Each structure stands twice: as structure tokens, then as C-alpha cells.
A = this chain, B = another copy of it.
Amino acid sequence: MNAVIDRLRRTTDLIVGEDDLRERLESGRPLRIKYGVDCTAPDLHLGHAVNLWMMRQLQDLGHRVVFLLGDLTTRVGDPTGRSETRPILTPEQIDANAASFLEQVSLVLRTDPDVFEVRRNSEWYDAMPVAELLSLFAQVTQAQLMSRDMFRERVAAGREIAVHELVYPVLQGYDSFAMQSDLTIVGSDQLFNEQLGRHFQQRLGAPPQVVITTTITPGIDGRAKQSKSLNNYIGLTDSPRDKFGKVMSIPDSLVEAYARVYTELPLDTVAALADATGPAARDAKLRLAAAVVTRYHGAGIAKTELDAFRHTFSERSEPDEMPEVVVTGEVATAFDLLRAVRPNDSNSALRRLLQQGAVTINGVRMDDPAAAVELDAGVVLKSGARTWHRITRK
């Protein structure tokens, strides 16, 4: 079973209860793997997928992922990393988000009932008397909850912690008991809450879950964690082309981490990619991008995208498809044409483009704004490194 753990370790930051994990894997019993999510609108990215792929590995060994929709806790609001209270979602919104979540998750996880189960934590919380919840609260102290990094940071920043936020970890922790979790694989920001899960399981007489936290890799800007608001992420539902292009845009310094964490390339290959310099560095990145696309869309599509990328960007040739612009007014010069296609740019910006040699008509560089143009035949205008337009005269 060390092989299983070693494979998981490639993207593991910390294992709490490693001996338990080894023992449970050896027992041959299918493990119940808690995959808890809240029901806000999901937009899963490669960072989330790291955990999903680890679960997928375990599914392939016969273990079961219990996909826990925290519908009750979503109604309450998870304060993780948020300074503002979340808007309340309607049951319809929660259902819609849950459906979208399942769809995205199924891009990585197997969803056949042998190894996949969907639960909602309202199952137990809607049936729980207030008195029982309070008896759970009796098992944990205020100081324990306040020791959570996120709460300490809030206090240090002079921000408030609402009491429903304070007790959120208790609910998330009790979930582990209620669903009989053996193992959960989470981001390190969930470590505190999932350790409370161990606490409650032990207090309530159940074996405590193993907690694995995963490696966090920066977004494509190389700085912050992937996030929708920073637009620095690669979404699971991004098109193959977007995935490919986004990987190509990462700084070279991220190649090693992305290859290790987001692909299954052998580790010596990963090392070789990371060591590449000069023109080889570009090839390394192409190989990485292809490996990422392969993981989600298969090798065939990855090859297509690799070719398309080379065609479009590496060889600077015209793309097969480009926006068409119908020109109606008087167009006599290159400058007129450019202004008709880019009506929002200033005259000086347009002139600069021309003077820099960034404008071609049918592949011929136009650096004189006053040069005459004929629009009788089909004309392709390129302005800037990656912008093409097909011009039609009305």
C-alpha cells in the first residue's frame, strides 16, 4: 500500500493519520472518501482538480467518493477566506449549483454508484434537534475555534466574526462523523475544519478520518492562488484551446510545479522540462500544455491544439477563421482602413501601429498611413501580433 500512498504524495502537502491510512488501505475495505463542497456557483479549476485526481486514483482501486453537498452549511455561509457575509441562496439556486458542480466533477471523477455517492448535509441537520447541536457545541471550546488561522487574521485586521461563522467548523467537522468519512483530501485552508472532524469522530466513538492536504500551486500569473476574480486560473470547463493557451502563458518558473502537480508526466520528464532553456524552454512548455490538455481531453485533441497553437502563434500564419468587418464609408488609405476596423483606438495609436510595422494587408507590411488601398478583392488586415480581420466592402 506504500505505492498508493507514494503516488498520492506527489501532490500531498500533509497527511494527518498516515498510519491509519496505511492500515485502512491494507484492510481491503472500500474507504469512504469525503468530498465536501458548499453549494455556491462552482467554477472548478486545475487547483481543485488536483484533489479530484487523487480521489480518482482511489476510485480506480475500488474506494468510494462521497460527494457531500453542504446545502445546509451553504445556507449558513462558510466564512473561509471571506471578509463579507455571503448572500443567502434560494433552494433553487442551490440545486442548480449542485447540478453544475456534479457536471464539472464528473470531468475527473467516476460517477458510477459503485464508487460514487451524493449526499447533502441537510439530511442530518434538518433532522437534528437544536439541543443536539448544542451538545456538539459542548465538545469544543471558544478558544479552539478562535485558534483557526483565518479567524486570528480577521481579529488582527479588526474585522468581525459572526457567530454562525465561528461555529461553521463544528458543522463541517460533524459532517465527517455523520457520513462516516475515512479520508478527506482538501486544501490546506480546510485543515482546521477537517481536524475538527477527527475530534468529533473520536468524541462520538468513531474512528477519525485521515486528512490529506494538497499542494497549492500559483495561478497562471505565477503569483496568487487561482481564482475567478483574479482571472488567473485554468477552468475545468475551459475549452482545450483555452487550456492550452493559458498553460503557454505561464512564467517559465512555473513549468516544474505545473508539470508535477497538473500532469502525470514521469518525474524525470518533469525535471527535464524544468531544466530546459532557450528554444528548448518553449518546447518544454508546449509539451506541458499538451500533457494538461491530454489529461482532460485525450491525446488526439491535445495534438490538434498543439498544431493549432504552432500554426497560429509560432509560425505567425493566418488563422483559418477570423472576424469579418464590413466597411461602408470612404476608405482610400491604409490609415482609413485601420480606423474603420479599430474605431475605438485613437489616431495616434493607429499611426503608431503602422509606423511599428505591425500592420499588414494581405501579408504586405503597410507602414505608410497614406498608402492607397483597394478593397475590390478579398482583403485580410493584420494589426498587431495576433489580430486579423477579413474586410468586405459593402
Q: How far is the CA of A76 from the CA of B76 in the complex (A)?
A: 22
Pairwise interchain contact A135-B164, C-beta atoms closer than 8 A: yes
Cβ-closest chain B residue relative to A131: B75
Q: How far is the CA of A128 from the CA of B131 in the complex (A)?
A: 10
Pairwise interchain contact B170-A138, C-beta atoms closer than 8 A: no
Known: A85-B138, A140-B163, A142-B162. A125 touches B131 (CB 8 A): yes
Q: Count of chain A residues with Cβ under 8 Å from any Cβ of B?
A: 34
Contacts of A140 in B (CB 8 A): 162-163
Interface residues in A154-170 by Cβ distance below 8 A to B read: 160-167, 170
Contacts of A137 in B (CB 8 A): 162-164, 166-167
In the complex, the count of this chain's copies comes to 2
Q: How far is the CA of A134 from the CA of B143 in the complex (A)?
A: 20
Pairwise interchain contact B133-A133, C-beta atoms closer than 8 A: yes
A126 at the interface (CB under 8 A from B): yes
Interface centre among A126, A151, A163 (most CB of B within 10 A): A163
Cβ-closest chain B residue relative to A143: B160
Pairwise interchain contact A72-B130, C-beta atoms closer than 8 A: yes
Contacts of A161 in B (CB 8 A): 141-143
Contacts of A130 in B (CB 8 A): 72, 125-126, 128, 130, 133
Tell me the minimal C-beta distance from A3 to chain B in angstroms: 42
Q: How far is the CA of A166 from the CA of B170 in the complex (A)?
A: 14
Pairwise interchain contact B166-A134, C-beta atoms closer than 8 A: no
Pairwise interchain contact B142-A72, C-beta atoms closer than 8 A: no
For the complex of A and B, 10 pairs with smallest distance between CB atoms: A137-B164, A137-B163, A138-B164, A142-B161, A141-B160, A125-B130, A76-B134, A134-B164, A142-B166, A138-B162
**A/B interface sample: 16 pairs, CB < 8 A:** A72-B130, A122-B131, A130-B130, A134-B164, A137-B163, A137-B164, A138-B165, A140-B162, A141-B160, A141-B162, A141-B163, A142-B142, A142-B165, A143-B161, A145-B163, A163-B167
